[in-house]
Amino acid sequence: MNIKYEQTPIKFKGSVFTTLVLYLTSNKINIISYFLTREIKKSPEFFENAPVMINLSLLPKNSNWNKIKDVITSHGLKIIGVVDCYDFYLKDIIQKSGFPIFSNTKSLINEKKNNQKSFHKSIFYKNTIHSGQTIYAKNSDLIITNNVNEGSELISDGNIHVYGKLSGRALAGAHGDNTRRIFCTNLCSELLSISGEYCLMDSIPKNIFNKSAQVIFKNGIVNIKKL
């Protein structure tokens, strides 16, 4: 059957999405369940039906994928794929269960750092960033001179500056640069991330909440400090 269209009805495009990555270092189901419960209690609305990628680089051998999958999904998380699975037997089981396995793109990017193009000029937004909006600054800093509402998302390969209230998510150093920072004049963000490492709203110190702050990556964790 021949079907003619004036325009192609489908199109593939590259895009940028942020996804939580769950690193598993134990294959004991009761331990995984306990710590999932503890973390989700900190911000239940944030984790409700949240899509997650499962990183298995530190998972012990001879792990039971089906039990691991079931305990994760029983806590309301939605598994969208697996990354860094080096156990070929386990990889085969995961693929047969219908989940895609991805390569760790951050490590690939780090290998190419010396060949990266220089950063572009900073990207500016003067309007309010509304819920549902995602702003991505590729190879540049992102500067917002207005408020960033809850439910919105800022992503930058460089630094992020918000001269207003930051209520949405902010992810700097999106392509693996942990020297990047987030600066804002009124911090009450749902999620803050530097180079893939993140912290949630309850990690913001009370003496900094709704005040000027900077977010940096130091000693292996995301740190929030006064400006």
Residue whose token pair is 């199109």: 11
Count of other CB atoms within 10 angstroms of residue 140: 16
CATH number of the domain encompassing residue 213: 2.160.20.70
- On whether both 99 and 135 belong to a single domain, the answer is no
Per-residue pLDDT of 9-59, as tens digits, reads 776 665 556 678 888 989 999 999 999 999 898 888 888 888 999 989 888
Query: Per the structure, how many domains does the chain have?
Result: 2
Domain end: 105, 128, 144, which one? 105
- On whether both 144 and 93 belong to a single domain, the answer is no
Rounded Cα distance between 117 and 115, Å, is 7
Instruction: Phi first, then psi: give them for residue 172, nearest 5 degrees.
Output: -100, 160
CATH number of the domain encompassing residue 97: 3.30.70.260
Q: Please report the pLDDT score of residue 86 as a whole number.
A: 81
Instruction: Provide, for the chain, the percentages of residues in helix, strand and coil under a 3-state DSSP scheme, each rounded to the nearest 5.
Output: 20, 30, 50
Domain end: 105, 135, 167, which one? 105
- On whether both 180 and 90 belong to a single domain, the answer is no
Closest CA to 180 of 222, 120, 219: 222
- On whether both 101 and 130 belong to a single domain, the answer is no
In a domain? residue 6: no
- On whether both 30 and 69 belong to a single domain, the answer is yes
Domain assignment of residue 198, given as a range: 120-226
Per-residue pLDDT of 155-169, as tens digits, reads 999 999 999 999 999
Q: What is the DSSP string of 86-100?
A: --HHHHHHHHHTT--
Domain end: 71, 105, 139, which one? 105
In a domain? residue 60: yes
Encoded amino acid at 133, one letter: Q
> In the chain, at which residue ranges do the beta strands (DSSP E only) sit?
20-23, 51-55, 78-83, 101-102, 123-125, 134-137, 142-144, 153-156, 160-166, 169-172, 182-187, 191-194, 197-200, 213-218, 221-226
- On whether both 135 and 74 belong to a single domain, the answer is no
User: What is the token pair recorded at 21?
Assistant: 């990555």
Per-residue pLDDT of 139-190, as tens digits, reads 899 999 999 999 899 999 999 999 999 999 999 998 888 999 999 999 999 8
